[in-house]
Structure 1
């Protein structure tokens, strides 16, 4: 059982206009990541990158290969740096902070932080570079991490941002001036750009005093679950350690949990195939008008810092070390170490999940929907108390002391999704009928669902978004139980079958393969202790079979799954393109399905 941490609402002292302005204009002397580091300006970093030995060699090689003169290539690099580089301006930070706090109070949110962990982290700063690796469930993650650092007098991070924001009028430049640097989504076929980006990040990590922040999952999780990590930016940020330019790098995993996601409606429609709308300043201003509502609490759980040196050891000796640091390439073993760090970071993010009242209420309501039995308010409280005990036994951190008042609060927060009817029964609120115009239909993924199907599916998908963050605690014993239910089974076969299923579902439920023996044993112990399964020596019994997904083709299969769900009235979350896609990937990994080319398209 996990030790419960104390969380503090850091917005509470700022509950007046005077409190906001006074706080954001105060004298501010932040703790730097490298106390003896150089206070480079944004322009000085760009100059250091453009004049680096590494880029000189790239220019030399590119000029010889393409015939383009060196001066032209230098101008191209300068253009890339103008696109990439942050340009932090403290007066912009302060006024953006005022705007952020005013929005937070308009949205009636509380920002709860495990303060003891943050203060402990701050005391360790000054020796080596720091990487903040938060979960990415909302666009608000950017603002929350920056405000957290400002609140606790930690140097504001340099934040990797996607190009979606780059072209947004006012917003793109404002983000740059509060610490964002921009990264293209794909580096394929852009060798000079990729080299410039690599060197820029190298300079940030090895010589700058700011922490560097990026989302190791690479994108927002539309399912509100952990995604498999990406390795690109992490490799760039860890390279100075492997080239022995820094003695260590501190990695700080952060989990950000929301009572209510601003994007829950958009995410639900994306699951059903409606494409994500393009980010524009006009769209943002329109969205801001809808934020004058109750959005509940946000929980920022800062994890135990991970020392890279302690986790992977000192860099191994290789012939690469005989080269100048700028020209060293990571060895296969070092690249494997980067992958291990990425997976460990996501695992630590999961371990720092804060189970919110929204998660608990959604689990209880989803259970009542499965059973087709409505629960009254008092029954809901009893069920939630039981769920809290189950989750805490499985190692979850549940931030709830007064369940009754929290449920009353979150029913206001989620009044568009759940409600108590006139008989005080907990019900799901139907979605408004939304017709998808022909322009959007042309870009939809999968089967184009009927409007009435959307009405039924959207509330269920939204509800599932709040169940998903805690599934990594429940999935191991659930899979084990489903295997045992089909008939008596020996422990060895049970463990083998369990691992096979976990591998197939690895894209849907993130986990570390090397931890599976321990996870299996803990799940088995939990199931036997709580009489979920019955043990007779090394034989376990009870249950029914778990049906696997049909062997379906990749893109066309997803469309057919949606068609069948619509025709047969199956559970609406089966309509999720992401869930269907993840299951198909699992079948490919298991050898139960295979990719093949159909009319120039890769299918399964």
Structure 2
């Protein structure tokens, strides 16, 4: 957690305008100078002798922007300190403390990194380290080498025999696909767009905090190994931020695997292509030629080291605020050159992007209720210019621990098995390689989650949802602040990376980050039952759920840190033996396997870790091998985090028991089934008792996927058609699940 503290006392007012530094308690020096100059201005505004405590970078953002260019000038801090009178240093009339209480090391604000002028920043001397074995190639050369690669030539020859098409026809099709897919990287366009985006970000973002330790390590390795950059995916801004970050720190900007949706945006698609994006179809099934071209195009950048390759392990944006289950296809393709020994090692860098408020939040809420996502278009982008009038708070960027694939594969992957396969044959992925890729994908996701930052607005959302469950939609401001501080303290004890300072009253900012769903009026924090963003909905139930889903999405941003203890809190509604608790924990974990990311086969280890954490915090007592939850206030808070999912699952399964098709001949589409369940639940409850998750199609679909995983229902290969396998077994199993969750919810 970052904490900024300032203590100002000025007995030597005559020295302050002359000297900038009196004592530095930590680095980075650049930030110290900025803060000092900002405080000097504030001192002049607030009179000499004024004492200020608890100010943060957000409070000084305006002053920081005005002073960034001046503070950028070279300045020897130690020399300034040495020039001050000794008695002045001893008195310490100005002390600045900038500390990082986590493992992040030094931090910088990307908005004021480098030049103040966007033009100077765009035209800066950019000399990133190059991969040692790189061979310079322009985009047209890359496409030609892909076209002439052994894999592509072999697939074309095979398709000639299978389809009867001529080699020239297939060559032309392959050329057209590569022209459609490939990037046309241009440093000039990248510099121009970078300056423009930096200007926009300064208007809509308070600050972009970067943990520089991981970035420095990434820069060091960029000349030694091919790089895979795998950021979290919560917003359209993700790939923009990563490219901007690498350019700012003189690291080779990546080529980015992007969906074809962006390619059809007039003008925008071309600009993205010039910035390193290569476009792939959302699905290409059994198209062997496309598979070969896409695989070879991705791998040639890794083998030659032209640029880092960036893609999202989750496959698509997470609308729910939680991490999605990993997709293994792209990672398998990226690691195949390592399995083939065409590269000695690959470095994987998980990058966590934490947003205080995403620009697409309202769009995500609509999609979760089943309203189709508008098609990406340049016209839609122009219409969205209203976002420039809003402020979206802070963004935290952290490059996680870089994973060496060579080291991770020791004892798990035997590359000799591929060595005996002739190069002319396209090898298939061995089972042990697939297992390794799956484990690595989960490791990457969990590393991303471990580095995620939690903002107070997400915690306030959880507090408000706890009161809404009690039919309270308005909360006294002082009570809301008190409960927020209590919840933040709890999350810090639980190990969350929370941006929080108890000394600073930040309720105005926190509430602003939850608007328009939450607002403050006459000393009360009020949740809109029908916020302005819900005008497109006709049903009053759906309008109310607009607020609930929005708050639930914010709460989900820290659920990964508390899910294990929340499940234990739910299970321990009365004392249980250790063996019984573990058994029910594993069962509940099976139920929640699509909602949250769990490392496979790690249930006992996760259980031990969670129980030890609760015992160490004196929340749970272990007596005579029996667990008992002793802090009811914490227990109620933790249970409120997981209850909305479990109640929605129960209601969904209740519908399935009564209405699920019994045979394949009478099956229905998964999409239509989820819509029917959504309608059923919205009618089932009166408004005050409805959870936001109750009509969230993502949660409803996950409840059906769990049944399929447990072989209680059957899905076709494309996960489009669903029917019940054994109604009797289905009903009995669901009742067992209900008893695991809580006797009060076993109404089935």
Displacement after TM superposition at 1:159 (Å): 0.4
Displacement after TM superposition at 1:591 (Å): 4.4
1:476 to 2:564 alignment: yes
Displacement after TM superposition at 1:470 (Å): 0.6
TM-score using structure 2 length: 0.74
| Distance change (3 Å), C-alpha of 1:531 and 1:13 | closer
Which one is further off, 23-32 or 137-146?
A: 23-32
- 1:267 alignment counterpart: 364
Contact 1:15 1:105 (8 Å CA) reproduced: no
For 1:211, which of 305, 308, 318 is the aligned residue? 308
| Distance change (3 Å), C-alpha of 1:297 and 1:433 | closer
Displacement after TM superposition at 1:603 (Å): 4.0
Displacement after TM superposition at 1:384 (Å): 2.6
- 1:589 alignment counterpart: 709
What are the superposed Cα offsets for residues 127-158 of structure 1, whole Å, 9 maximum, x if unpaired?
A: 11110100100001011011000011100000
Contact 1:253 1:303 (8 Å CA) reproduced: yes
Which one is further off, 178-187 or 111-120?
A: 111-120
TM-score using structure 1 length: 0.91
Contact 2:230 2:350 (8 Å CA) reproduced: yes
Q: Distance in 2 between matches of 1:13 and 1:363?
A: 34
What are the superposed Cα offsets for residues 77-107 of structure 1, whole Å, 9 maximum, x if unpaired?
A: 1111101111110111011112211221231
Taking the TM superposition and a 5 Å limit, the aligned residue runs for 1:460-539 are 460-485=548-573, 487-539=574-626
Contact 2:108 2:211 (8 Å CA) reproduced: yes
- 1:568 alignment counterpart: 685
1:378 to 2:465 alignment: no
Taking the TM superposition and a 5 Å limit, the aligned residue runs for 1:206-355 are 206-313=303-410, 315-325=413-423, 327-355=426-454
- 1:421 alignment counterpart: 521
For 1:20, which of 110, 118, 128 is the aligned residue? 118
- 2:173 alignment counterpart: 76
| Distance change (3 Å), C-alpha of 1:427 and 1:55 | closer
1:89 to 2:177 alignment: no
Displacement after TM superposition at 1:433 (Å): 7.2
Helix, strand or coil at the partner of 2:601: helix
1:408 to 2:508 alignment: yes
Displacement after TM superposition at 1:535 (Å): 2.8
Contact 1:381 1:404 (8 Å CA) reproduced: no
Identify the structure with bigger relative contact order (alpha carbons < 8 Å, sequence gap 6+).
1
- 2:107 alignment counterpart: 7
Q: Distance in 2 between matches of 1:403 and 1:235?
A: 48
Displacement after TM superposition at 1:390 (Å): 2.1
Helix, strand or coil at the partner of 2:501: coil
Taking the TM superposition and a 5 Å limit, the aligned residue runs for 1:167-178 are 167-178=264-275
Helix, strand or coil at the partner of 1:354: coil
Number of residues paired by the alignment? 586
Displacement after TM superposition at 1:428 (Å): 4.2
What are the superposed Cα offsets for residues 6-30 of structure 1, whole Å, 9 maximum, x if unpaired?
A: 53211035795xx111101112101
Which one is further off, 234-243 or 412-421?
A: 412-421
Displacement after TM superposition at 1:501 (Å): 1.1
Displacement after TM superposition at 1:432 (Å): 2.6
Displacement after TM superposition at 1:312 (Å): 1.4
Q: Distance in 2 between matches of 1:291 and 1:205?
A: 37
- 1:387 alignment counterpart: 487
Which one is further off, 358-367 or 34-43?
A: 358-367
- 2:76 alignment counterpart: none
| Distance change (3 Å), C-alpha of 1:502 and 1:416 | same
Helix, strand or coil at the partner of 1:513: coil
Helix, strand or coil at the partner of 1:398: coil
- RMSD of the TM alignment (CA)? 2.5
For 2:530, which of 430, 439, 454 is the aligned residue? 430
Helix, strand or coil at the partner of 1:514: coil
Q: Distance in 1 between matches of 2:173 and 2:271?
A: 24
Displacement after TM superposition at 1:396 (Å): 1.7
Q: Distance in 1 between matches of 2:679 and 2:491?
A: 32
Structure whose CA Rg is larger:
2
Q: Distance in 1 between matches of 2:722 and 2:209?
A: 46
- 1:559 alignment counterpart: 676
What are the superposed Cα offsets for residues 172-218 of structure 1, whole Å, 9 maximum, x if unpaired?
A: 11100001011111121211111111111110111133110000110
Contact 2:713 2:722 (8 Å CA) reproduced: no
Helix, strand or coil at the partner of 2:703: helix
Q: Distance in 1 between matches of 2:383 and 2:723?
A: 39
Q: Distance in 1 between matches of 2:507 and 2:240?
A: 27
Contact 2:681 2:695 (8 Å CA) reproduced: no
Gaps of 5+ in 2: 2-100, 630-634, 661-669, 725-748
Displacement after TM superposition at 1:566 (Å): 3.9
Contact 1:477 1:524 (8 Å CA) reproduced: yes
1:156 to 2:243 alignment: no
Which one is further off, 491-500 or 538-547?
A: 538-547
- 2:545 alignment counterpart: 457
Q: Distance in 1 between matches of 2:714 and 2:166?
A: 47
Helix, strand or coil at the partner of 1:159: strand
| Distance change (3 Å), C-alpha of 1:45 and 1:403 | farther
Displacement after TM superposition at 1:565 (Å): 2.9
Taking the TM superposition and a 5 Å limit, the aligned residue runs for 1:23-38 are 23-32=121-130, 34-38=131-135
- 2:38 alignment counterpart: none
Q: Distance in 2 between matches of 1:261 and 1:405?
A: 23
Helix, strand or coil at the partner of 1:375: strand
